[in-house]
Amino acid sequence: MAEENSSSNSISNSNSNSHRLPLMLYNTMTKKKEVFVPKVPNKVGMYVCGVTAYDFSHIGHARAYVSFDVLFRLLKYLGYEVTYVRNFTDVDDKIINRANELKEKNPDDPLSEPLKLSDFYCKEFLKDVDDLQCLRPTIEPRVSDHIEDIIEMIEELIKKDCAYSLDDGDVYFSVDNFKRYGQLSNRNLEDNRPGERVSVDHRKRNYADFALWKSAKPGEIFWPSPWGNGRPGWHIECSAMSAKYLTHSFDIHGGGIDLIFPHHENELAQSCAACEEAHIGYWVHNGFVNINGEKMSKSTGNYFTIREVTELYHPLALRYFLLSMNYDSPVNFSLPQTDLASDAVFRIYQTLQDCCDALRPFQENVSEKAKAVSKKVDKPSDSEKLKEDFESKMLDDLHAADILKGSLQDALRSINNELNGLKKKPKQQKFLVVQSLTDLEATIKNVLDVLGLASTAPYSEVLQQLKEKALIRAKMTEDEVSSMIEERALARKNKDFAKSDQIRSELTAKGISLMDLPTGTTWRPCVPEGKE
């Protein structure tokens, strides 16, 4: 019998050698798709740059971590043993500035201490990505726990004449002494724009030199170092932490496209300058999130936090939306687009629930009974077609959007068609249909699992959660909807069809779709009229 739930932690493992197609990934370094070959057979090391924890995370963060969660899940599906490292930057100018702002407003505010502030937002970030069903990485290091590792790497860079210290204790990386600087972003030093993240420092030997260690200003958090009290620069953090957990040579380094320069370029320079054997196999970057056609930006206020969206929409709806464009393409976020994503998730779970309900009477020996009446079939089953298309699309640089819009929709239509014809089938033939539906439902659950769209809750519970979010968006209660349904039923009884249509239209405009069934009228969420 089909199970009424699906687990987000039940990713099917299979040996990568059993797949006819290799995994292809677009490598930012080479500017082309390449066959993925790990440095150690059957093992993968992946580092993804994490958040700077000074505020609630926004949907740009969600795009990155959903994208790399899908890659993490796919690698596990292919049978790899994956060490996934995603850091927290819990020491940074932005964190210190936010803590100081809070201290000015209220000196007793517990979040006015930088590490307490960042700890709070690290935990809130984890709540958000848990809601989005991102699997926890293998290791989640914080900068404040790796100061010694960072200092050791800076000392190595100074020893190799790729870094220099100033009298006040600041330490800078020397781009002139690393001849391969710019190899990832293909930028010339003349193209660099100083002052993007920090103010221009005229004490530097080259204006493109970047900070490895910053001397402490009065009242700032600091750690002792050979150059005096201070704290790490932004870029050195990831070089030190990735080296600690994955060595200087590992398979995949990921992050948003905005990190290619300066962060990843500087990170690459540091790592290669510190260790000649340093090498990252594949640099993978996800695209921007735009809002209403403009690049999302906190500085302009043009952004949504993850939490603002999930207060109105089921987290699965936001995740579906983020997967509706291929990971390396820009995606334009809007609430109407999220309405469409929410509707798509509802249709998926309603179809699976309908399938589960139909299969419930057929609980035992379905396989044997199906075999007894089966005939030789030359064409692949719907389940086999879905699995084959899913693997071919995902192995071709994670084309999840093509699956959501294509083969998954075909599979859902197949279920509905089979369900519509099930009652008309002769008794013995029904077992063939039941077996086909059972296989197809299981394959859909596997696909959803790798995409992170499966839920540990029963289908019915997910549907109820989606309805509850629809009521929040409509600013209505269940009782108010029921009252309008009763009012409409009375109007229909009195043949006042104009009023009946008016009530239906009012609800549809709010995202509530009425369905008249033999057993009575019920409702489901829909895209509000006018937002399609």
pLDDT computed for residue 295 by the predictor:
78
pLDDT computed for residue 3 by the predictor:
45
Written as six digits, the tokens of 140 are: 């989640």
Q: What is the dihedral of CA 176, 231, 262, 288, to 10 degrees?
A: 170
HSE (side-chain half, CA atoms, 13 Å) at 316:
25
Q: How does pLDDT run across 67-77, given as a tens digit for each residue? A: 999 999 999 99
pLDDT at 401 over 60: yes
Three-state secondary structure call for residue 523: strand
419 burial level (CB within 10 Å; 0-12, 13-18, 19+): middle
pLDDT tier at 454, thresholds 50, 70, 90: very high
Query: pTM of the predicted model, to two decimals?
Result: 0.92
User: Can you tell me the distance from the alpha carbon of 169 to that of 434, in angstroms, rounded to the nearest whole number?
Assistant: 73
How many CB atoms within 10 Å of residue 531? 15
pLDDT at 363 over 70: no
457 phi and psi angles, rounded to 5 deg: -80, 155
User: Can you tell me the distance from the alpha carbon of 50 to that of 98, in angstroms, rounded to the nearest whole number?
Assistant: 19
pLDDT at 198 over 60: no
pLDDT tier at 12, thresholds 50, 70, 90: low
pLDDT computed for residue 302 by the predictor:
87
127 phi and psi angles, rounded to 5 deg: -60, -45
Q: How does pLDDT run across 315-337, given as a tens digit for each residue? A: 999 999 999 999 999 999 999 99
pLDDT tier at 203, thresholds 50, 70, 90: confident
User: Can you tell me the distance from the alpha carbon of 254 to that of 60, in angstroms, rounded to the nearest whole number?
Assistant: 14
pLDDT computed for residue 300 by the predictor:
79
Contact 197, 281 (CB under 8 A): no
Of 90, 144, 139, 141, residue with least CA distance to 119: 90
User: Can you tell me the distance from the alpha carbon of 174 to that of 161, in angstroms, rounded to the nearest whole number?
Assistant: 8
Q: What is the mean pLDDT of the chain?
A: 91
pLDDT tier at 531, thresholds 50, 70, 90: low
Written as six digits, the tokens of 98 are: 């936010």
Three-state secondary structure call for residue 215: strand
Q: How does pLDDT run across 76-126, given as a tens digit for each residue? A: 999 999 999 999 999 999 999 999 999 999 999 999 999 999 999 999 999
pLDDT computed for residue 202 by the predictor:
78
